[in-house]
Amino acid sequence: MTVEFMVNDKPVRVDAPEGTRLLWVLRERLHLTGTKYGCGVAQCGACMVHVDGGPAFSCQVPIETLRGKSVTTIEGLSPDGRHPVQRAWLAERVPQCGYCQSGQIMNAAALLARNPRPTRDEIVEHMSANICRCGTYQRIVRAIERASREG
Amino acid sequence: METTRREFMVGAAGLTFAFLLPGCAPVARKDGTATLATSTGNAPAFNPWVSIATDGTIYIQSPAVEMGQGSLTSLPLIVAEELDADWSKVRVVPAPPDDKLYGNPGFGGTMLTAGSNTVRSYFQPLRVFGAQVRRVLLENAARRWGVPTSELTTEPGVVVHEKSGRRLTYGAIAAFAEIPAKAPEIKPEELKKPQAFRLIGKDVLRVDLPGKVDGTARYSIDVEVPGMLYGTILRAPVEESAPVDVDDAAARAIPGVMRVVRLPFGVGVIADTPWAAFAAKDALRITWDRKAPGWGFDSDEAIERYAAAARDLGTPGKPWAAAGDVQAAFEQAKTVLEGEYRCDYAYHAQMEPLNSTAAVSPSGEACEIWVGSQSQTIAVAAVAKTLEIPTDKVRLHDTLLGGSFGRRGHRDEEFVVDSVLLSKEVRRPVKLMWTREDDVRNGRFRPMSAHFLRAGLDQSGRITAWHHRLACDWVLPYMDPVRYRGLRENDVIAVAGTEVASYGIPNRLAEQLGQKTGMRTSPLRGIGFVANKFATEAFLDEIAERRRMDPIALRLELLENLPRGEAVVHAVLEMSDYRRPRPGRGVGLAFVDYSNTMVAGVAEVSVDRASGVIRVHRFWCAIDPGIAVQPDNIVAQTESSIVYGLGLALTERISIKDGMVQQSNFYDYRVPRLRDVPEMHVKLMPTAGPPTGVGQMATPLVAPAIAAAVRAATGARLRHAPFLPERVLVAMRA
């Protein structure tokens, strides 16, 4: 089947079987490999993108549900990698292996878009959807607080 | 080859000239930090450590792979320090697979990034290599100016003759430099004094970080090669099993499936899309032979056997870390105390499931691979062996690793071989991916262990004898038989951490009762230290209680001849305000001397008495790693080690029934999430000695510190990690 939708503000046309998950289309058809495969079952958040501005586990999104919708990946979060969340992530030296960080950043950006001044508890609750096996969690909280502060 | 810029290089093999391809210098960052360059295009086809372009760009080879620990940056930084390079002009280039040039002295000269043994073992040689390049620059400038070398000094990237006020940049010197055939000798006293360090001890931005916030960092799973197909393999659930009956009709019917490949250890699928490859693997119906030794294995039953073996003093184990006369000391002891502890299998759960891309040439006589392995050269050797071709016919493109924690350093490199076997079938590039379920079910685990400890005390209560009997699956003979033989058949991965030398106990013996189970095992972050220090530290707490002594006082008594150890204990007591009463909560302390890195930790916990769930509220850690090469990264690694230890202590458990792993994914193998993580405070206490390793040292602190804190909060004695709620409830009732 063919599905048309927007990815990072550009229209795309994807031909894949019904039920094919957005994650693999992004990675292996659209060459947007910043979005990662971690678990395939919405448990780790490495695959997180925005669909119409909200956070989504791309490993769970069938492409046929995307008709007319708009997807943003880490590659499209900002034109130059200078989104406040990305800047805060570097300032707080968050990444270690880095594999989960696209998903963390996308989820954090979605949080701040909806709630620019989250409390610490709100950050913890929201970001507990994402696993970081390197355990960078404390720095993730600091980076989100910094991004919220510095905007 | 068209060459426009003259280069010069210094390497272990001596000094030589080289040229860079034109137009390949990466754009410098504006914030004055070094950047990562890809190996292709930037470096010439031979193997030096340093090359300097006439524009002043300095390329430094890094022999370590990057899996999150930061040594891809730290190693070139050490070279740059002695070279007195301008860090903003440094480009880090991953070194090609060549043990002779780049092998880790800490692993017998193998390129292996493991064991928190990278900065530790490369530190001194890399300083010398850096100093040699600087010396050559000085000598060339001296010749040009007709002044003695002794009158010259350097500032970052510049040779200076103070008397005449003349200056020459390293790039300018590179344009006329003559390189001696033999590298100049650098005496240890000619290396920089620590007070003169400009880079070591000052935080720089890790070269891999910018790509890790904008999606451009490249892991092996991101590789795309023209004409590439996708591969999956359904591996036998039990090691050494083979497929007997294969029903692949449903798999073959899936559009896009091109080939179903029967392998000695499983069945592979090759497809033109990843979704077809995954679906086809799920559609395979396979009967496995039941000849493999692991069938029938049940971890709940087995741990009882391990415990019995550990207790059975009539059966000697393989000795390790023996000192003094243990038998005589126990005979003379006034009191003998005993303790038993257990740890379950644990899984690495690196975020990037195992994968590799291979392109076997049409003739089958050459192969390219794209992979993140902890050893570039072991990966190449495994591919060469699989294809029965020389190693120089294997071209490695190494990538960042999305975590590893010991999983990708096995001698057989099975996930790399997987991709080679499938590519060999079709003679096209194949990206082989394990699903998370494959990664769990075919995981290689931290061994299950039972520990029986005995301590002999004299009249005054001092510990005079120590005996640790460790019953666990063998690890090193399985994961790396070559290294096992090289270490005179000591299973160091399993037994490490049974030593108690730093506690000054005069008579001591550890014994390994290796269990042949057919289970797959692996080093896992903290290796034997995690289980063995849990047993050691928990037993010390029991000894202290029996002596009616404060456990801290006991530690300090044992550490009286180890000032660095005492210092971290005192520091963490102060940080945590240890003696402060905390209603409803308990605190506990642990100390570990890990490869001469001193760490002490305090956990503050509460326990939900109805459910048995432990909540760790805060964790304090003091760490002395010798010289701190990258201070903030050491703090980050320590936070990381604590979180890893938290999962192993509380929730992470692999169980085996009939030889098969019972867990599948993150819903039944529970690793820490943000909401589980305590507030962490890390105090870095560098000392003047050489760097001693930082990648995993705090992990072994966590379980014993939590166990002590739970004892303080509830009176429950936890002897079996992880401390699952049901185990805590049982312990509270006891």
- Name all contacts of B327-331 with Cβ < 8 Å and 24+ positions apart: B328/B507, B329/B456, B329/B464, B329/B465, B329/B506, B329/B507, B330/B454, B330/B456, B330/B465, B330/B467, B330/B507
Asked if pLDDT for residue B8 goes beyond 80, the answer is no
What mean pLDDT do residues B510-517 have?
A: 98
From chain B, pick out residues whose CB is under 8 angstroms from the CB of A145: none
Cα–Cα nearest to B103, from B82, B81, B121: B121
B432-447 residue pLDDT tens: 999 999 999 999 999 9
Read off the amino acid at residue B120: R
Lowest mean pLDDT among A101-105, B6-10, B16-20: B16-20
What does the block give as tokens for B563?
């000032």
Instruction: Give how far B352 is from chain A: nearest CA, Å.
Output: 6
- What's the rounded Cα separation, in Å, for the pair B673 and B429? 37
Whether B184 and B136 have beta carbons less than 8 Å apart is answered as: yes
Measured CA to CA in angstroms, residue B166 lies from B83, B233, B584 at distances of: 19, 65, 70
DSSP letter assigned to residue A44:
S
- pLDDT at B1 exceeding the cut of 90: no
Q: Write the pLDDT tens digit of every residue in B73-113.
A: 999 999 999 999 999 999 999 999 999 999 999 999 999 99
Enumerate the residues of chain B whose CB falls inside 8 A of the CB of residue A140: 674
Distance (Å) of CA B728 to CA B160, B505, B531: 67, 32, 18
A97: nearest CB among B255, B402, B642: B402
Q: What is the pLDDT of residue B489?
A: 96
d(CA A105, CA A95): 10
CB contact under 8 A, A37 and B224: no
Q: How many CB atoms lie within 10 A of CB B627?
A: 17
**Residue B178 — very low, low, confident or very high, per pLDDT cuts 50/70/90?**
confident
Whether B704 shows a pLDDT value over 50: the answer reads yes
Domains located in chain B, CATH noted: 5-212 (3.30.365.10), 220-292+354-433 (3.30.365.10), 299-346+445-733 (3.30.365.10)
Does the distance separating the beta carbons of A135 and B643 come in below 8 Å? yes
**Segment B289-310, tens digit of pLDDT:** 999 999 999 999 999 999 999 9
Q: How many CB pairs under 8 A join A and B?
A: 170
Residue of A22, A71, A99 to mutate when probing chain B, most B C-beta within 10 A: A99
Q: What does the pLDDT average to over B320-344? A: 97
Alpha helices (H) along chain A: 22-28, 84-91, 101-114, 120-127, 137-150
Q: With beta carbons under 8 A apart, name residues in chain A contacting B436.
A: 38-41
Residue B108's nearest CA partner among B391, B482, B373, B374 is: B482
* Residue B234 φ/ψ region, left for φ over 0, alpha for ψ in the -120 to 50 degree band, beta for the rest: beta
Burial B501-535 (b: 16+ CB within 10 A, else e): ebbebebbbbbbbbbebbbbbbbbbbbbbbbbbbb
Exposed e or buried b per residue across A45-73, where buried means at least 16 C-beta atoms within 10 angstroms of its C-beta: bbbbbbbeeebbbbbebebeebeebbbbb
Provide the pLDDT for residue B413: 98
Is there a cis peptide before residue B700, judged by omega within 30 degrees of 0?
A: no
pLDDT at residue B239, rounded to an integer = 97
Say which of B215, B639, B675 has its CB closest to residue A138.
B639
Q: How far is CA B52 from CA B174, B322, B522, B649, in A?
A: 6, 51, 41, 49
pLDDT digits (tens, 9 = 90+) for B498-509: 999 999 999 999
**A140 Cα to chain B: minimum distance (Å):** 9
Instruction: Tell me what the pLDDT averaged over chain B comes to.
Output: 93
Q: What percentage of chain B carries pLDDT values higher than 90?
A: 91
pLDDT at B7: 47
Give the helix ranges, DSSP H, for B285-371: 299-311, 326-332
Q: pLDDT grade, residue B323 (50/70/90)? A: very high
Contacts of B36 in chain A (CB under 8 A): none
The residue-averaged pLDDT of B9-34 equals 42
Q: Which two tokens stand for residue B494?
A: 């399993």
Model pLDDT, residue B313 = 97
> A38 and B436 in contact by Cβ < 8 A?
yes
Indicate the CATH number of A2-76 among 3.10.20.30, 3.40.50.10320, 3.40.50.410, 1.20.120.420.
3.10.20.30
Q: Under CATH, to which class is A84-150 assigned?
A: mainly alpha
Of B551, B546, B468, which Cα lies nearest the Cα of B505? Answer: B468
- Position B684 pLDDT exceeds 60: yes
Task: State the number of CA atoms in the 13 A half-sphere of B721 facing the CB.
Answer: 34
- pLDDT of amino acid B16: 39
- pLDDT, tens digit (0-9, with 9 covering 90-100), for B131-173: 999 999 999 999 999 999 999 999 999 999 999 999 999 999 9
B-chain CB neighbours of A50 within 8 Å are none
Q: Give the pLDDT mean for B380-399.
A: 97
Alpha carbon distance B151, B138 (integer Å): 10
B405-420 confidence digits (pLDDT tens)? 999 999 999 999 999 9
Same fold across A2-76 and A84-150: no
Residues of B in contact with A43 (CB under 8 A): 665-667
Does pLDDT of B462 surpass 90? yes
Please tell me which residue, B646 or B28, carries the higher pLDDT value: B646
Q: Is the Cβ pair A97, B205 closer than 8 Å?
A: no
pLDDT in tens, B222-244: 999 999 999 999 999 999 999 99
Q: In whole angstroms, how large is the CA radius of gyration of chain B?
A: 27
| Per-residue pLDDT tens over the stretch B705-729 | 999 999 999 999 999 999 999 999 9
**Looking at chain A from residue 118 to 137, which residues have their Cβ under 8 Å from any Cβ of chain B?**
123-125, 127-128, 130-137
pLDDT in tens, B207-221: 999 999 999 999 999
A90 and chain B in contact, CB less than 8 A: yes
Q: Residue B515 forms beta bridges with which residues? A: B473
Instruction: For residue B32, name the pLDDT band (cuts at 50, 70, 90).
Output: low
Out of B639, B665, B674, name the one closest to residue A39 (CB).
B665
* ipTM confidence: 0.99
Binary contact (A74, B632; C-beta < 8 A): no
In one letter, which amino acid is A17? P
Q: The tokens 């503000």 sit on which residue?
A: A9
Q: Is the dihedral of CA B63, B66, B70, B76 positive or negative?
A: positive
Cβ of B666 within 8 Å of Cβ of A39? The answer is yes
Chain B: give the shortest CA distance to residue A68, in Å: 23
H runs (alpha helix) in B592-717: 631-650, 699-714
**Which of B68, B215, B403 faces A34 most closely, judged by CB atoms?**
B215
Residue B675: which of A73, A86, A128 has the nearest Cβ? A128
pLDDT, mean of residues B360-369: 97
Q: Give chain A's radius of gyration (CA, Å).
A: 15
Nearest 10 degrees: CA dihedral of B405, B410, B415, B416? 110
B591 forms beta bridges with B600
**Confidence check: pLDDT of A88 > 90:** yes
Q: How confident is the model at residue B17 (pLDDT cuts 50, 70, 90)?
A: very low
Indicate the pLDDT class of residue B180, thresholds 50, 70 and 90.
confident
Which residue from B570, B469, B548, B565 is spatially nearest to B510, judged by alpha carbons? B469
Q: State how far the Cα of B506 lies from the Cα of B15, in Å rounded to an integer.
A: 50
Q: How many CB atoms lie within 10 A of CB B396?
A: 22
pLDDT confidence band for B469 (50 / 70 / 90): very high
Pairing between β-strand B430-433 and β-strand B229-235 as defined by DSSP bridges: parallel
pLDDT the model gives residue A151:
85
Chain B within 8 Å of A101 (Cβ-Cβ)?
yes
- Cα gap A61→A84, rounded to integer Å: 27
Q: What is the DSSP letter of B197?
A: -
For chain A, the straight-line distance linking the first and the last C-alpha, in angstroms and rounded, comes to 41
Residue-level pLDDT at B38: 56
**Domain spans, chain A:** 2-76, 84-150
- On the question of pLDDT at B349 being above 50, the answer is yes
Q: Which pLDDT score is estimated for B4?
A: 34
**pLDDT for B40:** 28
Provide the chain A residues 2-31 that lie in CB contact (below 8 A) with chain B.
16-17, 20-21, 24, 27-28, 31
Please report, as a single letter, which amino acid is at residue B372. G
Q: What confidence tier does B33 reach under pLDDT thresholds 50, 70, 90?
A: low
Q: For A98, name the nearest residue in chain B, comparing CA atoms only.
A: B212
Query: Is-contact B599 B622, C-beta < 8 A?
Result: yes
Contacts of A101 in chain B (CB under 8 A): 212-213
Whether the full predicted model's pTM is greater than 0.90, yes or no, is yes
Residue B182, pLDDT score: 84
β-pair partners for B592: B599
Q: Decide: B636 and A94 in contact? Cβ < 8 Å.
A: no
Q: What is the pLDDT of residue B130?
A: 94
